[in-house]
Amino acid sequence: MRVGRIPYVNCYPVYGAIDRGAVPLDAEIVDGVPTALNAQMAAGHLDVSVISAVEYARDSQRYLLLPDLAISCDGPVRSVMLYAKRPASELRGRRVLVSRSSMTSVALLELLFEHVWDARPTFVPADAELTDIARFGADDHDARLVIGDAALRLSTYLHDAEQRDQLLDQFGYRYAYDLGAEWKNWTDLPFVFAVWVAQRSADTRTALNVHASLISSRNWGLKHLEPLAAQAALATGVSRSACLAYLSGLDYGLSYGHLAGLTEFFRRLVTAGKVPNGSLSFLAA
């Protein structure tokens, strides 16, 4: 079995026990950004993986959802941020740099611009995971979607008054939008960014064993957020307390409430003609 993993710190609670040998996983782990894992699953090169929620909606006939396992938020997410030089409602026709590596974040941003901010900017594919703050102003743009560890780092950077003023003076970012919070304000529902899936063609017994290991590791991770936050701090340069607050604010289950948010997101994507109509199907014994 080949199992995909996103190397962002938001996956630490799911894979932390496996990495430490506390929970066995009889599979090879393959790291990749969301779009890379999406492509490998679509090509059949991975058996089980975390993928963008939009990738599941795009080809639900290929995949089976792993029960009770996702990356979601019920309000601010902190790692999917739009930074803008003017209010989002004033970005009509303006250049907005968007991620090449996160289908779900871009799809959510498009819905927010159309239905909440009533503006149609020009979306330009770009690097949404910049780690060098000095490069954020390298492109001509009015707003930038930033995701993953880079968004967490920049969000923390902006909490320091001196650094925030420096960033504003240098790049002109005066508005910040947390896409998890914007979705919550719009729909009053949680938002699911990523799900774990198995190929329908995968051996069911082996996939169930992988699922059991991931759930056990997730449960361990939720009880050991302190050491995971320390690991995240070393990886990102963000303070341990900020990493702990970030990981504590995410949800790694897939409850009825999360499913309501997921299906509402899919419904809106279907209405917009961005994904085919489909249904949720789960891996079962």
Contacts of 27 (CB under 8 A, 6+ apart): 1, 2, 3, 47, 48, 210
* Alpha-carbon gap, residue 65 to 284, rounded angstroms: 9
The answer to whether 192 and 262 have CB atoms below 8 angstroms apart is yes
DSSP H or E run through 120? none
Q: Tell me the mean pLDDT in the region 124-131.
A: 66
The CATH 3.40.190.10 domain(s) of the chain lie at 2-71+191-271, 80-187
- What local confidence, expressed as pLDDT, does residue 104 receive? 93
* Alpha-carbon gap, residue 80 to 155, rounded angstroms: 10
Decide if pLDDT at 165 tops 70: no
Q: Tell me the mean pLDDT in the region 169-193.
A: 91
Q: Tell me the mean pLDDT in the region 121-139.
A: 65
* Alpha-carbon gap, residue 121 to 97, rounded angstroms: 10
Say how many Å lie between the first and final Cα of the chain, rounded: 18
- What local confidence, expressed as pLDDT, does residue 168 receive? 61
* Alpha-carbon gap, residue 145 to 126, rounded angstroms: 9
Q: Tell me the mean pLDDT in the region 96-106.
A: 86
- What local confidence, expressed as pLDDT, does residue 254 receive? 97
Torsion of CA 208, 103, 111, 170, to 10 degrees: 130
Kindly state the tokens that stand for 121. 């900017």
Reported pTM:
0.92
Decide if pLDDT at 126 tops 90: no
**Axis-axis angle for helices 179-187, 103-115 (nearest 10):** 50
Query: What pLDDT, in 10s, does the model give residues 194-208?
Result: 999 999 999 999 999
The answer to whether 114 and 273 have CB atoms below 8 angstroms apart is no
Decide if pLDDT at 166 tops 70: no
The radius of gyration of the chain's CA atoms, rounded to the nearest angstrom, is 18
Decide if pLDDT at 130 tops 60: no
Decide if pLDDT at 158 tops 80: no
Give CATH for domain 2-71+191-271: 3.40.190.10
CATH topology of domain 80-187: D-Maltodextrin-Binding Protein; domain 2 (3.40.190)
Query: What pLDDT, in 10s, does the model give residues 10-30?
Result: 999 999 999 999 999 999 999
Kindly state the tokens that stand for 274. 């961005």
Decide if pLDDT at 137 tops 80: no
* Alpha-carbon gap, residue 179 to 77, rounded angstroms: 7
* Alpha-carbon gap, residue 71 to 260, rounded angstroms: 14
